[in-house]
Amino acid sequence: MKRSEVRRRLALEWWRQLAIALAPLFVINLLFGADLQTGLLTMPVFIAGVASMFVSLPLFTAYKHALVATEKALDTPDEHDAWLKLARVRRSGFLGAALPAWIAALAVFAGLEAIPLILLAISSIVMLCLYRIPRQLS
């Protein structure tokens, strides 16, 4: 498989993961958000959502190491395996980056208001942006 094809597939995977991360929040908020009142669990759930961003730290470190290994493996026989490892490490990083948005989706049931929900969703978007493939690998 050519390098451009791999990059295109990884880019499509990024957009798919963005949709997977944010869709539950939008759907649950659309269906159940208007009827719920602020509850006692809103602040603890918001704090849990913010704290979940730290889950992504070791995952991002592994992703950076895989990026460096992929860059070193370009134009060598090990390039294909390096791309596969990068994709695998990146998928686990995607899960960690999506946690704040998924916790925000659950927080709708606790009555979390719109601004904290948006903040958690934006934090997931920003963390997912960190997992984009840099242009240097093209």
Angle between helices 56-73 and 114-130 (to 10 degrees): 20
Largest CA distance in the chain: 59
Predicted pLDDT at 130: 92
Predicted pLDDT at 131: 92
Alpha-carbon gap, residue 56 to 95, rounded angstroms: 8
Predicted pLDDT at 102: 94
User: Can you give the residue ranges of every domain in the chain?
Assistant: 3-137
DSSP SS3 for 53: helix
pLDDT tens for the chain, 138 residues long, are 677 788 888 889 999 999 999 999 888 888 877 666 667 788 899 999 999 999 999 999 999 999 999 999 888 888 889 999 999 999 999 999 999 999 999 888 888 888 999 999 999 999 999 999 888 776
Alpha-carbon gap, residue 102 to 95, rounded angstroms: 10
Alpha-carbon gap, residue 2 to 15, rounded angstroms: 21
pTM score of the predicted model: 0.86
Predicted pLDDT at 123: 96
**C-alpha separations of 89 from 32, 74, 81 in Å:** 34, 18, 12
**C-alpha separations of 9 from 1, 37, 84, 90, 132 in Å:** 11, 42, 12, 13, 12
